[in-house]
Amino acid sequence: MSKLEEKILHYSQEAKKLGLDLSDTLIAKATESLVPAIYNQDSETVSCSDQSELETIKKNFLQKKLGLENDAEMDHAIQKVCEAMGSSNRHKYRAIFYALLVQEFGKESLYL
């Protein structure tokens, strides 16, 4: 099994543990789009308490990648995903985080 396949399996298992309704295919596509960031311990996870990181996600992922424009909707979705992944969860994996955002905005067609 390749390192990428191991990461995809790990994220799929983690999503199931958290009770998140995400398809393995969406997790796999989100993971593939994040190579090489998923191999760096710091960039592999999202810190919901770091406002600058959340702004970067909004600007670089939601606006540029998904083509969204409504700031209030994007901010709400980011907070919703932070809550869904759990405030005490120290391992908010970026691939799962992004997959949840894709699902939240119904943009799966960009990945599947």
* Model pLDDT for residues 24-33, shown as the tens digit of each residue: 999 999 999 9
d(CA 73, CA 109): 19
* 3-110 CATH: 1.10.238.120
- Which band of pLDDT confidence, cut at 50, 70 and 90, is reported for residue 111? confident
d(CA 103, CA 109): 10
- The interaxial angle of helices 71-85 and 94-104, nearest 10 deg, is 130
d(CA 87, CA 64): 27
- Phi, psi (rounded to 5 degrees) for 4: -65, -45
Q: What pLDDT does 112 receive?
A: 79
Domain boundaries, the chain: 3-110
At residue 16, does pLDDT exceed 90? yes
This prediction has a pTM of 0.96
